[in-house]
Amino acid sequence: YAIFSVGDLQAGGFGRMDESYSAQTPAQWTVVFSVSDADASLAKVVELGGSITMDAMDTPYGRIGSVTDNLGAPFDVISELTS
């Protein structure tokens, strides 16, 4: 996984699709929104009619979760890890 930066701001990243992906899975981009609290943001999406597609989990880059909005559009949210 590699991170794109603009100055000191992390602005994006990309990674290789490994054998954990089905051969039928096309290459893709995912929109990721930086939020103050990933878990609270996932709960808000559900409150507003969306669905959680991946529960929040800690990664080296922050706490991230995946959702679809009430119309089915997918996106992720990420927050900084707290100690």
pLDDT digit string (tens) for the chain, length 83 residues: 888 899 988 888 888 888 888 989 898 888 999 999 999 999 999 999 999 999 999 998 899 999 999 999 999 999 998 76
pLDDT at 81: 85
pLDDT at 50: 98
- Helical segments of the chain, H only: 38-47
pLDDT at 78: 95
Task: Answer yes or no: are the C-beta atoms of 45 and 37 closer than 8 Å.
Answer: no
pLDDT at 83: 63
